[in-house]
Structure 1
Amino acid sequence: MTDSVEEPARGGPFAWYQAANKKVRRVFWTCSVAWTLDAMDALVYQYLIPIVIAAFGISLAQAAAIASASYFASAVGGWMGGWLADKFGRVRILQITILWFSLFSFLSGFAQTYEQLLVLRVLQGLGFGAEWAVGAVLLGEIVARKDRGKAIGSVQSGVAVGSGLAALLAGPFVAMFPLELGWRVVFWVGLLPAILIFFVRRGDDDSEVFKKNKAQREAEKRSVTPLEIFRLKYLRVTALAALLAVGAQGAGYSVSSYLTTFLQNERGISASTAGIFVLLNSVGAFFGLITNAYFSDRFGRRMAFRLFGLGFIIATSIYLCAPLGSSAYLLIPAGIVQSFCQFGLYGSFGPYFTELFPTEIRASGQAFAYNFGRAVSGIFIQGVAIFAAGLALNVSMTVMGSIGVLCALVATVLLPETVGRDLNELDEKRA
């Protein structure tokens, strides 16, 4: 059973939160703020790409390689962090990963060469790869199952706030400083999430379903290795969850990684104004994630992925390829709709992955699948840069994004529907 045992109140969009106990609320806010600042730090580099190119005198492909390497590192770090969370507890590892990615975000601001920045962003990726997955598992295990999509989806909406903050930092904020200093100050802000480690309680805030499973494993003197998720009985779910994560994130990063570059180079908009446009896009992103959170609890996880995926293809094609020129009156609403679909596509990752994997491999399975998607999305990021050498940037972004959505849709056909699944019953079936 979950830790949030009260029946949710009726009548309001936040009834689930009103019915939750103090533990659920504390974990919810810790995970929400951590994910917001995590997303801010991950996305701010993408928005800073034009400035990083100028500061270090590197090519677009080299700048994209840093983002790709960071996402690859997040796959390794996320997988290991998830396994450690299954072994030692969700809260302890959540604290460690928050501290880790905050520290290396801060240190990135001191890089003196391209190679140093590459190494520091790789180390940062090792930490932030596990933070979201471990937090989503923790919250998913303690909140009422009928509210799992709404709770974790609300946490996921922090990526929209983080995107807005990243746009502010990479646009108007960085413009306040000289070129050499501005991007450094932005990375130094990445130390802020470290204060969150004091708001969750090691042991006390771990879920009952995890404690029960851990006690059972200890009584049986049975250990779980990081490779457990690749055992034959789990391999199909692991592979398809990873494909879903590859497709959805590859689609999104094909656009977000080059959005400010597109607005500046192809729409003729200044860096600071492009930052404001991206900031306004985050309004659509926020509502897309919240809409998905409620939609998936009502109509199912797979349907949510499918509708938002199709919406992404249509909205992205219009935003990037329609003759909108540099008109704010056209670009801003088109960008808001595109972001609604793009970020809404991510909204069901947390509840869906929590319900796909049994407790003893839940964190490692979820962290691997999600972060494998992050890592392989580096291929999509690099693919846009490669195609852009012969095609227009907007066409390259649209093509790679559409390929990503098609991958995600294939995965939803082959995976089961899980909405409202009882996690204890899942453990009993897999025993």
Structure 2
Amino acid sequence: MSTTRTEPSEGGRREAADDTGALGWLRALGPRGRRAFGGAFGGYALDSYDYFTLPLGMVAIAAHFGLDNGQTGLLTTVTLVVSAVGGVLAGILADRTGRVKALMITVMTYAVFTVACGFAPNYETLLVFRALQGLGFGGEWAVGAILVAEYASAKHRGRTLGAVQSAWAAGWALAVIVYTLVFHFLDDDMAWRVLFWTGALPALLVVHVRRNVSDAPEAAAKRAAAAERGSFSAIFRPGLLRTTLFATLLSTGVQGGYYTLATWVPTYLKTERGLTVVGTGGYLAFLISGAFIGYLTGGHLTDRIGRKRNIALFAVLSACGILAYTSIPAGSNELLLVLGFPLGFCMSAIFSGFGSFLSELYPTAVRGTGQGFTYNSGRAVGAFLPALVGFLSDSWGVGGALVLGAAGYGLAVVALLGLPETRGRELL
């Protein structure tokens, strides 16, 4: 039987929205919600694009500046560590001034400093620019996810936020396509700079968001009436302290495992598996295809089996996938290609419940602050794993050091023990 609910339209009228079928979650958002979804999806896709300009250009950057694996790993680590500061600031800003304003600021920040990376005259300057890029990179996801979560119903929130999360794979794919073209036609010393310069694309999105996207009216009213909106200390007070600590631990484990792979797989494919630029792009295509489908599948599963079960399931599968991927013997690159799809699927499906889970753990007045802190602080702590892989790779090899990512997923499973299940919970 078809079920409907009403949604506000631009003119303030209410219209029926059919929430059944494969795209029922999208129709149920209503006109304003769909525009918010488009803005958040675009922002996260371009966030991903700008992030991957570094891992994809890492081999050329290392050769240009004469860097070892520890120094190149530090470029990723500093981005993710500073992203914690950006996430906290963006979350507080989103609670105090609104989701849309904070979204535009974060997008412009990561775009400007990604472009600046292309002009870096030395390693030290690149490190500084990449750190500043992390300010915007850290805040965008949390703000965009909250914006959409406040439009979505409890019934569909998991798959709706899972669809937003799938934008990461779309941005990743676009970055790989541009990387393949740029490095095919240009000398490596110029190609990595051009790749960073293409990071100006997000500026176009800001124009769209400013003209067409607005905060969810009901959530905005609650936030405006709250006495402590955007209070950083509030998320560490009794009642929320346990949630904040365990959510941060969960984020640390999942993102430590993910960014270890995202940072080092391109280098692993080129240096230890002997693949060309075009070959690396082909192998990454399988990984990214699995990631995109994984985000969407995980979104549906988190609404069906619950937030915690979805995360636990794919944490275990991701850890097993890392061990299998790095254990493939030399000369079996075809098997490497095949395993890329399930590895990408599992390591992405685990994220699908994060947007809904973290949004449901915090009340409206501090939702941005809580989600921004836990997600990005976890990312900052987890970021030390990619750097550790870089330092250990000289003795273990990149493939051998990559198995450290599996430990992160084990930590995530432990963290779930301290958090409640929130499937079906209305936002407070």
Same-fold call, TM > 0.5? yes
| 2:191 corresponds to 1:182 | yes
Consecutive unaligned residues in structure 2, runs of 5 or more = 9-13
Match of 1:99 in 2: 108
- Residue type matched to 1:309 in 2? A
C-alpha distance in structure 2 between counterparts of 1:422 and 1:46, whole Å: 39
C-alpha distance in structure 2 between counterparts of 1:2 and 1:90, whole Å: 23
Match of 1:342 in 2: 347
Q: Tell me the CA shift for residue 22 of structure 1.
A: 1.0
Match of 1:14 in 2: 23
| 2:277 corresponds to 1:268 | no
Match of 2:11 in 1: none
C-alpha distance in structure 2 between counterparts of 1:388 and 1:97, whole Å: 33
Task: Select 1:278's aligned residue among 278, 281, 284.
Answer: 284
Q: Tell me the CA shift for residue 290 of structure 1.
A: 0.4
C-alpha distance in structure 2 between counterparts of 1:71 and 1:283, whole Å: 24
Contact 1:94 1:131 in 2 (8 A): yes
Match of 1:378 in 2: 383
Contact 2:50 2:110 in 1 (8 A): no
**Correspondence list, 1:375-414, <5 A:** 375-398=380-403, 400-414=404-418
- Residue type matched to 2:151 in 1? I
Report percent identity of matched pairs.
36
| 2:35 corresponds to 1:26 | yes
Q: Secondary structure at the match of 1:215?
A: helix
- Residue type matched to 2:99 in 1? R
Match of 1:243 in 2: 249
Match of 1:67 in 2: 76
- State which drifts further: 260-269 or 185-194: 260-269
Listed one character per residue, the Cα deviations across residues 259-297 of structure 1 (whole Å, up to 9, x for unaligned) are 011112221212331122112311000011100000001
Q: Tell me the CA shift for residue 207 of structure 1.
A: 1.9
C-alpha distance in structure 2 between counterparts of 1:253 and 1:296, whole Å: 22
- Residue type matched to 1:33 in 2? G
Relative to 1, partners in 2 of residues 1:362 and 1:6: Cα closer, same or farther, differing over 3 Å?
farther
Listed one character per residue, the Cα deviations across residues 58-87 of structure 1 (whole Å, up to 9, x for unaligned) are 111111111111111110011011001101
Q: Tell me the CA shift for residue 421 of structure 1.
A: 0.8
C-alpha distance in structure 2 between counterparts of 1:180 and 1:338, whole Å: 32
C-alpha distance in structure 1 between counterparts of 2:333 and 2:150, whole Å: 46
Counting matched residue pairs gives 419
Listed one character per residue, the Cα deviations across residues 242-265 of structure 1 (whole Å, up to 9, x for unaligned) are 111111110111112110111122
| 2:197 corresponds to 1:192 | no
Q: Tell me the CA shift for residue 346 of structure 1.
A: 1.4
C-alpha distance in structure 2 between counterparts of 1:12 and 1:241, whole Å: 32
Match of 1:117 in 2: 126
- Residue type matched to 1:275 in 2? G
C-alpha distance in structure 1 between counterparts of 2:283 and 2:53, whole Å: 14
Contact 1:3 1:141 in 2 (8 A): no
Question: TM-score normalized by structure 1?
Answer: 0.92
User: Deviating runs (4+, > 6 A) in structure 1?
Assistant: 4-7
Question: TM-score normalized by structure 2?
Answer: 0.93
C-alpha distance in structure 1 between counterparts of 2:332 and 2:124, whole Å: 36
C-alpha distance in structure 2 between counterparts of 1:343 and 1:235, whole Å: 28
Match of 1:321 in 2: 327
Task: Select 2:47's aligned residue among 28, 38, 50.
Answer: 38
Match of 2:220 in 1: 211
Contact 2:297 2:349 in 1 (8 A): yes
Q: Tell me the CA shift for residue 43 of structure 1.
A: 2.0
C-alpha distance in structure 2 between counterparts of 1:301 and 1:8, whole Å: 25
Contact 1:26 1:199 in 2 (8 A): no
Match of 1:366 in 2: 371
| 2:239 corresponds to 1:233 | yes
Contact 1:316 1:338 in 2 (8 A): yes
C-alpha distance in structure 2 between counterparts of 1:374 and 1:391, whole Å: 24
Q: Secondary structure at the match of 2:201?
A: helix
